[in-house]
């Protein structure tokens, strides 16, 4: 149904599009000049500049624009369009002119007249709403009728969808996503089964679908509602890190979600619906658990690749004596003597197809990685200098980590090239990964650092791309926070004990007198005592309460900056965004301290924040097309106004290490200030100076692994400010949020089946010795 043009209390500007000032086809973003015909707003000028996301606009056409006025500091009043619609002439003459215009091939004036006289002045909406409307027009050829309806639909389709979705408070951006999936069917689907949106459209919430369904009078026990409820509950559980939900838990959560005083629901209805979804392969029910298929297959796929890699035997014919000599030479070269655990780790890694190396900070993980690479090079007579390889892809050592900063750290500590896992696999956004089981990685040894941060999806994609004969070393610290995404791959692998593992316990950095390392290990080993909080050369503890946190941090920060320390080297980490000691407040205060407003510095306002040239910012999502990833930290280096660049849109330029990334306004929300970042976001990074507030106001979040992760981010200095009790309680609180994962089961099933195959094969061989083929003839 078409919304009545220009009707309702919604503000509009009706006008002719005079010309396009700027157009970005890829973004569907345009800035246009409008000659105003009519408006129900108080705007009294004859013309206005309008901007927004449009599918197609034609100069000379008349449109209704719905949106809001905006005051641009340089260009004055502009209209920010949130939805729009072509004005279809409502007079007979206007309509005839419209239908016989160039827009509609094959329809001349005569035919247009016939259509209007037959269908009346609402001809266009009749054609759009009823496929057969034109069949009653005498003398109109079937092909022409079909062509006209098709063109009209194409032309009106997007606007029609946008305008109708806006009635349900669905904005232009989400409307574009929806239109891409459903095209002109979007509104029909929304009206018949809004819950389908929850399945098909990323980011479309259950509550929105539910409200629309209620408005459209859909029954509260409708299977689609219950099905969407199940999917929504599963999607939510994935955000909490689960790979599946036990069916009972899932049912309880769905009941909670769908609860309604008007109509009761019982478990059997939900169970039945889960079975239906299972039949349709929308979920997978197995062993009393319910999975979203992508997660079930990720776990199972990962397990199958682990099995594949373990099956391929490794040829290693270096004798222990030879190896001792090689390692001895490396020790001489490195001017150190490997500890027993470290030697064992190098030896085992060289012998293993797949190995896990774990250990807390300063136990020598990087030292061991370097030792493994050098020893491998010596054994196989391979140079470990990338410069000796003409072709980059021939370099035998592939070093990778889940985040940009972790990869950079790995590169700096080993002196070898290291990239993010996404880059290694050639992630290209929607299209997926260039590297996969068909196009695998090249190289001989793969080393993945910070493996505790890798979720089951990424682990599966990575393992798919590992060729059978590659040796793999997974390095991580199991005591850190689990991955942000679903699963706990490192923990599950360690618990399954199917991959050889070496844990390093002896702390080497402590020998250099590091209090940070001492603290970290005391927390890890549950031997923390408050006297460890005494100030030291690399550690201070400042007593303060929640309301003093922002002030204390600002003072500490100021003192450090006054001492000449680079702002980029000081990182505040906190567990939560809200409350008076939260990340948001800390960022505001620190921005004011280190990068205040001045008349010379350009800035842009984004919701409640102001981004200013010189601001430290963090990327919040993966943006592979620009080579920036969730957690990367950069600095705003330029802000351009619309008329200052060839694209004619406002732009903000952020420098990440040596790479500049240009953001347009719609992407500004991918950034946040980074004077203070969440501990979760800091995983995989290290900073010279870490300031860590810990107060009881964070109690919901304070856990041993969170505090351990935060403390181990500090390289040279750590300043904790807050309450001793909150710290004590935090490190005594274990993360009881058990993640539901079944990787261990998948691994044992896979390995069990391969054992059975082996048994079967061996049985056949034995029997075959006694039986001749003729026995079967
Ligand atoms: N066997 C050793 N003898 C002397 N020094 C060592 C030895 N092993 C490691 N170190 C030193 O200890 C420090 C920490 O080692 P390394 O950086 O390898 O640990 P790590 O586990 O990677 O630490 P982090 O996780 O904090 O990065 C380094 O300065 C390193 O040179």
Contacts (Cβ under 8 Å, ≥6 apart) of 495: 744
Tens-place pLDDT, residues 203-243: 888 889 998 888 888 888 888 899 999 999 999 999 999 99
Residue 180 burial by Cβ neighbours in a 10 Å radius (0-12, 13-18, 19+): exposed
Is 195 within a domain?
A: no
More confident residue, 428 or 521: 521
Which residue has a Cα nearest atom 18 of ligand 1? 364
Lowest-confidence segment of 56-60, 541-545, 590-594, 665-669 by average pLDDT: 56-60
Tens-place pLDDT, residues 543-576: 999 999 999 999 999 999 999 999 889 999 999 9
Which residues are annotated binding-site positions for ATP?
362-366
Residues with beta carbon inside 6 Å of ligand 1? 336-339, 342, 359, 361-367, 508-509
Query: Do 254 and 304 lie in a common domain?
Result: no
Domain residues for the domain of 94 are 12-167
Residue 456: both structure tokens together:
């089951």
Q: Report pLDDT for 584.
A: 95
- 53 vs 3, 67, 172, 274, 608, CA distance in Å? 20, 12, 7, 39, 23
pLDDT > 70: percent of the chain: 92
Query: Do 127 and 225 lie in a common domain?
Result: no
- 688 C-alpha vs ligand 1 centroid, how far in Å? 16
CA proximity to 695, closest of 734, 733, 725, 735: 725
Average pLDDT over residues 192-210: 88
Lowest-confidence segment of 195-199, 304-308, 326-330 by average pLDDT: 195-199
Is 776 within a domain?
A: no
Q: Which long-range contacts (CB under 8 A, 24 or more apart) does 34-37 make?
A: 34/63, 34/65, 34/79, 37/62
Is 675 within a domain?
A: yes
- 712 C-alpha vs ligand 1 centroid, how far in Å? 14
- 654 vs 586, 627, 628, 649, 667, CA distance in Å? 21, 12, 10, 16, 12
Which mutation among 356, 367, 449 tests ligand 1's pocket best, with the greatest number of atoms within 8 A of CB?
Answer: 367
Sheet holding 570-574, edge to edge: 539-543, 714-722, 687-694, 570-574, 676-678
Q: At what angle do helices 267-279 and 223-239 cross, to 10 degrees?
A: 80
Which residue has a Cα nearest atom 8 of ligand 1? 364
Q: Report pLDDT for 775.
A: 32
- Residues 84 and 506: their CA atoms lie apart, in Å, by 66
- 692 C-alpha vs ligand 1 centroid, how far in Å? 24
Ligand 1 atom closest to 363 (CA): 21
More confident residue, 136 or 277: 277
- 503 C-alpha vs ligand 1 centroid, how far in Å? 14
Q: Report pLDDT for 774.
A: 32
Q: Report pLDDT for 767.
A: 35
DSSP string, 581-599: TSHHHHHHHHHHHHS---S
- 538 C-alpha vs ligand 1 centroid, how far in Å? 17
Is 454 within a domain?
A: yes
Is 308 within a domain?
A: yes
Average pLDDT over residues 448-470: 96
Residue 94: both structure tokens together:
């206007």
Where are the strands (E) in 592-738, listed by range?
Answer: 603-606, 609-612, 616-619, 633-640, 651-656, 659-664, 671-673, 676-678, 687-694, 714-722
Tokens 């590659």 correspond to 470
Residue 242: CATH number of its domain: 1.10.10.2220
Which residue has a Cα nearest atom 6 of ligand 1? 508
User: Does pLDDT of 677 surpass 90?
Assistant: yes
Structural domain ending residue among the three candidates 484, 504, 524: 504
Q: Report pLDDT for 777.
A: 28
- Residues 576 and 13: their CA atoms lie apart, in Å, by 43
Q: Report pLDDT for 764.
A: 37
Contacts (Cβ under 8 Å, ≥6 apart) of 644: none
- Residues 342 and 367: their CA atoms lie apart, in Å, by 8
- 346 C-alpha vs ligand 1 centroid, how far in Å? 14
Which residues are annotated binding-site positions?
362-366
Q: Report pLDDT for 557.
A: 93
Query: Do 337 and 482 lie in a common domain?
Result: yes
Query: Do 346 and 487 lie in a common domain?
Result: yes
pLDDT > 90: percent of the chain: 50
- Residues 633 and 625: their CA atoms lie apart, in Å, by 17
Parallel, antiparallel, or unpaired for β 616-619 and 671-673?
Answer: antiparallel
Ligand 1 atom closest to 712 (CA): 26
Ligand 1 atom closest to 504 (CA): 21
Q: Are 170 and 67 in contact (CB under 8 A)?
A: no
Query: Do 493 and 529 lie in a common domain?
Result: no
Is 769 within a domain?
A: no
Q: Report pLDDT for 441.
A: 95
Lowest-confidence segment of 48-57, 438-447, 719-728 by average pLDDT: 48-57
- Residue 214 has phi, psi (to 5 degrees) of -60, -45
Structural domain ending residue among the three candidates 447, 475, 504: 504
Query: Do 378 and 419 lie in a common domain?
Result: yes
CA proximity to 397, closest of 381, 416, 415: 416
Q: How far is CA 610 from the centre of its chain?
A: 24
Q: Report pLDDT for 217.
A: 82
Is 200 within a domain?
A: no
- 511 C-alpha vs ligand 1 centroid, how far in Å? 10
H helix runs in 167-246, sequence order: 172-182, 186-192, 196-200, 206-215, 223-239
Average pLDDT over residues 399-406: 89
Contacts (Cβ under 8 Å, ≥6 apart) of 618: 631, 632, 633, 634, 671, 672, 673, 674, 677, 681
- 316 C-alpha vs ligand 1 centroid, how far in Å? 27
Q: Report pLDDT for 522.
A: 92
Mapped onto helix, strand or coil, the DSSP state of residue 143 is: helix
Query: Do 499 and 527 lie in a common domain?
Result: no
Would you give the end-to-end CA distance of the chain in angstroms?
A: 73
Q: Report pLDDT for 403.
A: 85
- 443 C-alpha vs ligand 1 centroid, how far in Å? 26
Q: Are 743 and 487 in contact (CB under 8 A)?
A: yes
H helix runs in 29-122, sequence order: 92-99, 109-119
Query: Do 438 and 526 lie in a common domain?
Result: no
More confident residue, 769 or 280: 280
Query: Do 349 and 438 lie in a common domain?
Result: yes
- 433 secondary structure, DSSP code: B
DSSP string, 266-298: -HHHHHHHHHHHHHTTSSEEETTEEE-HHHHHH
Parallel, antiparallel, or unpaired for β 570-574 and 289-291?
Answer: unpaired
Which residue has a Cα nearest atom 26 of ligand 1? 361
Query: Do 472 and 529 lie in a common domain?
Result: no
Q: Which helix H or strand E contains 76, and what residues bound it?
A: strand 76-86
Ligand 1 atom closest to 511 (CA): 12
- 507 C-alpha vs ligand 1 centroid, how far in Å? 8
Average pLDDT over residues 448-476: 96
CA proximity to 507, closest of 294, 377, 359, 374: 359
- Residues 352 and 315: their CA atoms lie apart, in Å, by 10
- 351 C-alpha vs ligand 1 centroid, how far in Å? 23
Q: Please, what is the average pLDDT of the chain? A: 87
Ligand 1 atom closest to 517 (CA): 26
- 385 C-alpha vs ligand 1 centroid, how far in Å? 22
Confidence of residue 146 (pLDDT cuts 50, 70, 90): confident
Tens-place pLDDT, residues 475-513: 999 888 888 899 999 999 999 999 999 999 888 765 567
Structural domain ending residue among the three candidates 699, 722, 745: 722
Q: Report pLDDT for 756.
A: 60
Q: What share of the chain is helix, strand, coil (3-state, %, to 5)?
A: 45, 20, 35
- Looking from the CA of 143 toward its CB, the CA atoms found within 13 Å total 2
- 628 secondary structure, DSSP code: B
Ligand 1 atom closest to 409 (CA): 27
- Residues 227 and 277: their CA atoms lie apart, in Å, by 7
Query: Do 681 and 664 lie in a common domain?
Result: yes
Ligand 1 atom closest to 337 (CA): 1
Q: Report pLDDT for 102.
A: 66
Which residue has a Cα nearest atom 1 of ligand 1? 338
Tens-place pLDDT, residues 112-133: 898 999 988 888 888 878 878 8
Which residue has a Cα nearest atom 16 of ligand 1? 364
Which residue has a Cα nearest atom 23 of ligand 1? 362
Query: Do 522 and 546 lie in a common domain?
Result: yes
Average pLDDT over residues 7-26: 78
More confident residue, 98 or 691: 691
β-bridge mates for residue 502, sequence order: 357
Residue 333: CATH number of its domain: 3.40.50.300
Q: Which helix H or strand E contains 361, and what residues bound it?
A: none
Q: Report pLDDT for 176.
A: 78
CA proximity to 349, closest of 371, 329, 366, 328: 371
Q: Which helix H or strand E contains 243, and what residues bound it?
A: none
- Residues 201 and 184: their CA atoms lie apart, in Å, by 15
The Cα angle at residue 198 between residues 194 and 203, in degrees rounded to 5: 125
Ligand 1 atom closest to 368 (CA): 18
Which mutation among 364, 475, 506 tests ligand 1's pocket best, with the greatest number of atoms within 8 A of CB?
Answer: 364
More confident residue, 375 or 517: 375
Which mutation among 453, 508, 517, 713 tests ligand 1's pocket best, with the greatest number of atoms within 8 A of CB?
Answer: 508
Which residue has a Cα nearest atom 11 of ligand 1? 508
Tens-place pLDDT, residues 621-655: 877 778 788 888 999 999 988 777 766 778 899 99
Number of structural domains (the chain) is 4
Which residue has a Cα nearest atom 14 of ligand 1? 362
Is 665 within a domain?
A: yes
Average pLDDT over residues 65-90: 83
Which mutation among 339, 366, 452 tests ligand 1's pocket best, with the greatest number of atoms within 8 A of CB?
Answer: 366
Q: Report pLDDT for 629.
A: 80
């Amino acid at each position: 149904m078409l919304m009545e043009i220009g009707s309702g209390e919604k503000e509009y500007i009706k006008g002719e599009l005079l010309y396009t000032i700027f157009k970005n086809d890829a973004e569907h973003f345009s800035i246009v000049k409008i000659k105003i015909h009519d408006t129900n707003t108080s705007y009294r000028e004859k013309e206005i500049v309008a901007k927004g996301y449009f599918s197609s606009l034609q100069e000379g056409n008349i449109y209704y624009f719905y949106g809001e006025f905006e005051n641009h500091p340089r260009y004055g009043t502009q209209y920010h369009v949130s939805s729009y619609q072509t004005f279809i002439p409502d007079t007979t003459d206007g309509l005839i002119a419209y239908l016989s215009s160039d827009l509609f091939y094959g329809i001349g004036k005569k035919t247009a007249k016939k259509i209007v006289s037959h269908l009346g002045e609402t001809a266009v909406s009749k054609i759009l709403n009823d496929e057969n409307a034109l069949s009653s027009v005498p003398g109109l050829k079937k092909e022409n009728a079909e062509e006209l309806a098709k063109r009209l639909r194409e032309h009106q389709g997007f606007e029609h969808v946008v305008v109708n979705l806006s009635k349900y408070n669905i904005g232009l951006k989400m409307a574009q996503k929806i239109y891409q999936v459903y095209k002109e069917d979007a509104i029909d689907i929304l009206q018949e089964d809004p819950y389908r949106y929850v399945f098909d459209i990323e980011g479309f919430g259950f509550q929105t679908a539910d409200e629309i369904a209620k408005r459209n009078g859909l029954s509260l026990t409708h299977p689609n509602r219950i099905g969407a409820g199940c999917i929504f509950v599963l999607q939510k559980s994935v955000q909490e890190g689960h790979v599946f939900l036990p069916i009972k838990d899932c049912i309880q959560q769905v009941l909670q979600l769908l609860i309604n005083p008007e109509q009761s629901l019982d478990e059997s209805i939900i169970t039945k619906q889960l079975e239906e979804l299972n039949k349709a392969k929308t979920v997978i029910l197995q062993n009393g658990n319910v999975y979203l298929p992508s997660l079930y297959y990720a776990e199972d796929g990962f397990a199958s690749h682990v099995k594949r890699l373990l099956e391929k035997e490794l040829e290693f014919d270096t004798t222990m004596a030879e190896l001792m000599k090689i390692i001895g030479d490396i020790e001489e070269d490195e001017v150190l003597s490997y500890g027993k655990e470290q030697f064992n780790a190098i030896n085992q890694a060289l012998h293993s197809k797949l190995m896990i190396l774990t250990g807390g900070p300063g136990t020598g993980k990087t030292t061991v990685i370097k030792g493994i690479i050098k020893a491998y090079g010596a054994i196989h007579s391979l140079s470990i200098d990338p410069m000796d390889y003409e072709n980059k892809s021939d370099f035998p050592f592939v070093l990778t980590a889940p985040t940009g900063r972790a990869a950079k750290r790995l590169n700096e500590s080993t002196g070898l090239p290291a990239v993010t896992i996404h880059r290694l696999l050639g992630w290209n956004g929607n299209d997926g990964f260039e590297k996969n089981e068909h196009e695998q990685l090249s190289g001989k040894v793969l080393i993945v650092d910070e493996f505790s941060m890798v979720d089951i999806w990424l682990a599966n994609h990575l393992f798919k791309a590992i060729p059978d004969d590659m040796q793999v070393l997974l390095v991580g610290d199991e005591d850190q926070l689990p991955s942000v995404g679903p699963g706990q791959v490192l923990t599950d692998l360690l618990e399954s004990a199917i991959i050889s593992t070496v844990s390093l316990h002896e702390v080497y950095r402590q020998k250099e007198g590091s209090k940070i390392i001492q603290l970290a290990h005391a927390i890890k080993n549950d031997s923390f005592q408050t006297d460890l909080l005494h100030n030291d050369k690399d550690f201070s503890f400042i007593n303060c309460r929640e309301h003093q946190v922002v002030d204390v941090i600002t003072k500490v920060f100021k003192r450090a900056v006054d001492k000449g320390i680079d702002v980029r080297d000081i990182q505040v980490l906190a567990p939560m965004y809200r409350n008076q000691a939260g990340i948001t407040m800390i960022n505001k205060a620190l921005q004011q301290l280190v990068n205040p407003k001045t008349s010379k510095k350009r800035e842009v306002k984004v919701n409640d924040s102001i981004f200013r040239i010189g601001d430290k910012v963090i990327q919040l999502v993966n943006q592979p097309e620009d080579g920036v990833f969730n957690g990367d930290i950069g600095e705003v280096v330029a802000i351009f106004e619309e008329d200052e660049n060839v694209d004619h849109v406002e732009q903000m330029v952020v420098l990440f290490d040596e790479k500049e990334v240009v953001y347009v306004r719609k992407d500004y929300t991918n950034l946040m200030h980074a004077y203070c970042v969440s501990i979760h976001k800091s995983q995989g990074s290290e900073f010279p100076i870490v300031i860590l507030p810990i107060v009881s106001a964070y109690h919901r979040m304070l856990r041993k692994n969170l505090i351990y992760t935060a403390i181990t981010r500090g390289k040279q200095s750590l300043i904790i400010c807050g309450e001793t009790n909150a710290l004590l309680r935090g490190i005594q609180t274990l993360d009881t949020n058990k993640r539901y994962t079944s990787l261990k089961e998948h691994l044992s099933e896979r390995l069990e089946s391969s054992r059975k195959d082996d048994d079967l094969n061996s049985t056949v061989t034995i029997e075959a010795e006694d039986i001749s083929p003729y026995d079967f003839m």
